A and B are shown apart, each in its own frame.
Chain A
Amino acid sequence: MSVKKHNFFRILFCVVLLMGLMIRPGVYAQTTDSTSTSTSATSNVASAGKDTSASAGKDTSAAAAPAAATSAVAPAATSSSTAAAPAEEVKKPIDPQVYINFFYYVLLFFLVCVVIGIIGKILRVYELTSTMQGKKGLNKNSVQGALFLVSLFVGLYGVYWSFEHHGGMAWHEAATEHGKRVDAMFIVTTVITTFVLVVMHIAMFSFAFIYRGKPKAKAYFYPHNNTIEKIWTIVPAIVLTILVLFGFFTWRSITNVPEDLQKSAMQVEVMGAQFQWTIRYAGRDNVVGKRNYKLTSTTNDMGIDFTDKASWDDIQGGEIVLPVNQPVRFHIISKDILHSFYIPYFRVQINAVPGMTNYFQFTPTITTQQMRDKLDDQNFNYTLLCAKICGAGHYNMQKNIRVVSEKEYKAWLAEQTYFYNDDMRKEFKMAQSTNNTNQTVLEGGVK
């Protein structure tokens, strides 16, 4: 009896809720129309004057401080805040409609809960009546076991679908020499792991279904079997050993470049900073000149030490341009905090660490144009990303990379400017001649 009463109230409640929700579409139309919201907002300034002025004082002072600190950053935020900050001092108050909409979502969720509750009750009533009538009713083990079986099939299909769909979106050919070896290993690993994933799940969920509990059944007492256990210790061990050896030698071949090849490769220095990359080509001598972070200034962003003559021919690259099929050795440094030099298409990543230089040597094998043709996307570009959290602009720290023919590369390089330009030269000469003490300090600081 009491159960029925309960349900009655719930249904009543639902009806009320539904009625409430019917009003919603009209309300919604208002909010989607942005002009109408803004006008209503301005009128609200007047109507809700008391409560805005209280909060506005706080808000403006709070907003001012961080805005100054992070003015260099905040790309999205600045655009929205400039738009939102017209001549008037008072900040835009929050439209009450916002609360109402939010409230409707809460109600909607509540409604869903109630519906689920009712379904639960119906199921229980069904179960009770069927057991009263002496029927077997729904056995929870059978139901859940069957659900596991269903989820197995749905899951397997989902994995297949995801591999095909998302895999197709995700997978792209490596555009470097070592990248091809990495990819071969990736594929081998994927085959093995997918096989294990599928087999283990088929086993587990079908066991769950087949051996679902039955009142009269008894489980098979089987505490251990040393042979089986040995087999499934040794087989993974062997498979993993193969993967380890494969991986180890690939890793060594990538990271352990013989000295003469290191020297003969083209040298490029890349410096990460909040939130941009600076590129320095080594120039004719193929030696990257020394730098000392203490020399950093507004004109000398990298802190290049021009007492080292090797730096005089160093060239600043607006983007990274690489000749195809030529080994290039990147020197990765950081101006401020950790960044990560990451080029997904090249299978290249190494962190930029302040206080030390990291190296990554590789050979691009596919020019940008070739890749565009392959991908059938004429807007495609290789990009350098930052993969180590570095602050507010981390998500947008990019540099374009072009892989071109040797000829194009030469032509491009000729157009780039030296770091040691006329201004720098003057500045440097002046510092050298007028301030001798400073000069000695400089040299002492050079490592």
Chain B
Amino acid sequence: MSQITLSHSEEHHEAHGHHHETFLSKYVFSQDHKMIAKQFLITGIIMGVFAMFLSVLFRLQLGWPDKDFPILETFLGKWAEGGRIKPEFFLSLVTIHGTIMVFFVLTAGLSGTFSNLLIPYQLGARDMASPFMNMLSYWFFLTACVIMIGSFFVESGPAAAGWTIYPPLSAVPTAISGSGLGMTLWLTSMTLFIASQVLGGINYISTVLNMRTKGMDFWKMPLTIWAFFLTAITGLLSFPVLVSAVVLLIFDRSFGTSFYLSDLVVQGQILPNEGGSPILFEHLFWFLGHPEVYIVLMPALGLTSEVISTNSRKPIFGYHAMVYSLIGITVLSFIVWGHHMFVTGMNPFLGGVFMITTLIIAVPSAVKSFNYLATLWRGNIRFTPAMMFAIGMVSFFISGGLTGIYLGNSSLDINLHDTYFVVAHFHLVMGSASIFGMLCGVYHWYPKMFGRLMDERLGYLHFWVTFIGAYLVFFPMHFMGIDGVPRRYYAFTEFPFMAKWLTVNTFITWAAIFAALGQVAFLVNFFGSIRWGKKAPQNPWGSNTLEWTTPVKHIHGNWPGEIPTVHRWPYDYSKPGHEEDFIPQTVPFSATMSSNLPHDFEGNPEAERLQKEWEVQNKPEEQKDLKG
């Protein structure tokens, strides 16, 4: 395998050089994993900014429900007549915000960027298993993005049934105008999106399975790769179920079937549908939907594991436990979806079972957080911006994860379901944690992507503004939820008991604006550094993994000569007996006799013998200290 790719790429470099590459083939229809990663990232960032802008718009409404913002009318037109967002459009904003954030930013933008960038790099592969499918994956994704944003320009408005698009609301256009053409576009966009995810997922999985370089067995893979691999498996198993849900919904909408519809009298009109059930949709949706939150989260966990280890200059604590927790989360994530449906009328006994599985999944998550802390303990921590974001990610993961214990408990969920408590919970654990994981990845691998470094100061500014802003926005929401304030409310003015939250809401909106403006620091830094950033050295962070052995300048096929061979796990940081505080994976044990541990040779008597001999000769007095 590697022989073939090797000769292929050498021929490419030595003989053809760059003269085959036109602008189109290099930047647009690229099949190179590095370029596709950048395409995903930049598209993801644009979508993220857009969705964040939407959230600021509806936060304006929630913060000042009685105030006009005439400027809104200029660019929203009839949707904000007199400078006041209309209730239906508010719901559209919330819906598209959620959809874009979850799917386009944190699924495609995160996995798409870093799986594409790092799987070949960290495994020692020339490219993805199928570069062409990889390109298709991006183009499907981009088309989906365009359609999703395009739905803002249709007469009846974009989809407005929430990102979960529960029917019948999403199926009956007379119930809400967003369920007309807007919902059709939403469904089309999501179908294309899923096609993109499946193409990408197959590629990631087959690359991890087949294209690891010599010596890279599974237990030598960095946690990033483990995370991407398991994420891709999760996605591949769950996204098709969403397709089926979507297709049945399309049938109900357009062909008069009754999969989800029964006994409806909408706006005085008796509909003929009988025998369907919206609960069916909920099951299908959450069969994807819950794994989806781990699809969003696991890459972030992988990226931060890598960054925390590198910048603590310490091996990640409990590498095996980290992998097993990821596997545990992957498996369990498929049997907990019912916790979104405790109060839907699903059989209550089933609810009890889902509660049990849900709280089990908290155990691997807890193990992961403890292991992060243990990795920081007695480290020699370098606070690069990436490291800051990684620490922030762990903080959000903890505080958001803990509120999951409430929501996973069906008795408590009775009073918290569909309230702002849920909004707070998932924004911390899924929104903020994953975004921080993604940003951590961007700051850390920017030199690998663009050959330049990002500005550190702006990075710190960005971190603190975002970290503080996110907590200020989402922490108070817990309390609104406990008081019983439901989510997806256009205004909190109609119920007397919600009036007391008005000041809190105004405060949250200010915090959201503050955090949103803070992202300008990132955008300036990101796009500015492409041109003006400091030139990056080959291995700026003193990292062990393979991607840092490639030249700074991108070349087709990644390594100019032979693909490096891997000799050790990726976390030999600050190993006693070695003078540098890192040992790249490519360094053989024979070159580090002074730092080898008995543990390193498990199952290889020959190596153990050599090591013993060397030790007897060189430092007999240290032998008793060497424990695995």
Contacts and interface: CB of A to CB of B under 8 A. Distances in A.
Do A and B actually bind? yes
Interface of A: 59, 62-63, 65-66, 69-70, 72-74, 76-77, 80-81, 84, 92, 94-95, 98-99, 101-102, 109, 113, 116, 120, 123-124, 140-141, 144-145, 147-148, 151, 155, 158-159, 162, 166-167, 169-172, 181-182, 185-186, 189, 192-193, 196-197, 200-201, 203-204, 207-208, 211-214, 217-225, 228-229, 232-233, 236-237, 240-241, 243-244, 247-248, 250-252, 254-256, 273-274, 293-294, 296, 298, 303, 335-338, 340, 342, 344-345, 347-351, 353-356, 358, 379-381, 383, 385-396, 398
Contacts, number: 390
B176 A62 contact: no
Contacts of B82: 80-81, 84, 92
B423 to A, nearest CB: 12
Contacts of B383: 140-141, 144-145, 208, 212-213
Given A101-B71, A120-B457, A340-B418, A355 B263 contact: yes
B247 interface: no
Interface in B314-359: 314-321, 343-345, 348-349, 351-352, 355-356, 359
Given A200-B398, A229-B367, A385-B486, A348 B88 contact: no
Given A211-B378, A293-B265, A293-B270, A236 B363 contact: yes
Contacts of B155: 62, 65
Query: When A and B form their complex, which 4 residue pairs have the shortest distance between CB atoms, in order from nearest?
Result: A344-B484, A355-B262, A255-B348, A166-B479
Contact of B355 (A247, A273, A380): A247
B314 A77 contact: no
Contacts of A224: 317-321
Given A62-B78, A185-B412, A211-B377, A251 B352 contact: yes
A417 to B, nearest CB: 22
Given A145-B381, A240-B363, A386-B486, A221 B345 contact: no
B611 to A, nearest CB: 17
B431 to A, nearest CB: 18
B417 A171 contact: no
23 contacts: A76-B87, A80-B82, A94-B73, A166-B478, A185-B411, A189-B405, A211-B377, A213-B313, A219-B379, A220-B379, A221-B575, A223-B319, A224-B317, A243-B359, A247-B359, A247-B409, A336-B168, A337-B169, A338-B278, A353-B278, A391-B169, A393-B87, A395-B87
Interface residues of B, number: 139
A244 B356 contact: yes
Instruction: Indicate the member of A101, A228, A244, A250 with the most B CB atoms within 10 Å.
Output: A244
Contacts of A66: 78, 88, 156, 177
A220 B369 CA distance: 19
Contacts of B412: 182, 185-186, 189, 247
Interface stretch (B40-48, B294-302, B496-504): B496-504
B592 to A, nearest CB: 13
B250 interface: no
Contact of B574 (A185, A204, A220): A220
Interface string B386-400: 001001001100110
A240 B359 contact: yes
A353 to B, nearest CB: 5
Contacts of A220: 314, 377-379, 574
B541 to A, nearest CB: 12
Interface in B486-513: 486-492, 494-497, 500-501, 504
A101 B482 CA distance: 38
Nearest to B164: A389
Nearest to B83: A98
Interface of B: 70-71, 73-74, 77-78, 81-82, 84, 86-88, 91, 155-156, 161-162, 166-169, 172, 174-177, 261-268, 270, 274-279, 312-321, 343-345, 348-349, 351-352, 355-356, 359-360, 362-363, 366-367, 369-374, 376-383, 388, 391, 394-395, 398-399, 402-403, 405-406, 409-412, 414-415, 417-419, 456-458, 460-461, 464, 467-468, 471, 475-476, 478-484, 486-492, 494-497, 500-501, 504, 517, 520, 571, 573-576, 581
A337 B367 contact: no
A174 B471 CA distance: 29
Given A221-B314, A337-B168, A340-B343, A162 B479 contact: yes
Contact of A204 (B264, B395, B581): B395
A202 B530 CA distance: 38
Given A293-B263, A336-B266, A345-B484, A233 B367 contact: yes
Contacts of A145: 381, 383
Contacts of A254: 411, 414
